[in-house]
Amino acid sequence: MTIDYSKHSDGLVPAIVQDAQTKTVLMLGYMNAAAVAKTQETQKVTFFSRSKNRLWTKGEESGHFLELVSLAVDCDKDALLIKANPVGPTCHTGSDSCWDEENRPSYGFLSALEDVIANRKNNPTDKSYVASLFAKGINKIAQKVGEEAVETVIEAKDSNSELFLNESADLLFHLLILLQAKGHSLQDVVDVLERRK
């Protein structure tokens, strides 16, 4: 890996730190050749602190280290992307990231859908199908998952992809509702699958 430190007058290159699991951008720091070497040697992300004018390992005082997973240089060879596993919050303010964003896994639309389901559970309205299921209780929600599972199996045996995909969407939607009803999330299921690998 070749890094061109000469492109910056101070010999420092920007280093973006991203959570290796969640992909959340955690912080921006600056590194020189010595910081990169120490990071690779210790497997703990180390920067050159412009305010302290020395090498600084993130977490050296707080214990909130950034454990190195990978380090990549950009196409111009003058910026770094570091993927790391954070040990505790990253920002000195106590926030997960320096942009005050919660560092949690995101599954795109499915995470947004989980948020909508949680909102309908916690703020029910008479017009909400989801709220009506929560009002009927766990047995009704579980029954709906069973019904959708059977309908998905039936459509899987035929050749109509549109019907199969629609039933699969219904099954996944109702499973997300059941997970919420049981106090769990999609992440809890992912955690089980990751432990099995």
Per-residue tens of pLDDT for the chain, all 197 residues? 799 998 887 889 999 999 999 999 999 999 999 999 999 999 999 999 999 999 999 999 999 999 999 999 999 999 999 999 999 999 999 999 999 998 988 888 999 999 999 999 999 999 999 999 999 999 999 999 999 999 999 999 999 999 999 999 999 999 999 999 999 999 999 999 989 98
For the full predicted model, state whether its pTM sits above 0.75. Answer: no
Q: Are residues 117 and 78 in the same domain?
A: no
Q: Are residues 132 and 186 in the same domain?
A: yes
What DSSP line would sit under 76-90, residue for residue?
TSS-EEEEEEESS--
Range of the domain at 183: 109-196
d(CA 56, CA 47) in angstroms, rounded, equals 5
Q: Are residues 178 and 115 in the same domain?
A: yes
Is residue 169 included in any domain, yes or no?
Answer: yes
| CA separation, residue 122 to residues 110, 128, 130, 131 (Å) | 18, 12, 11, 8
- CATH number for the domain harbouring residue 70: 3.10.20.810
User: Is residue 176 exposed (0-12), middle (13-18) or buried (19+ Cβ within 10 Å)?
Assistant: buried
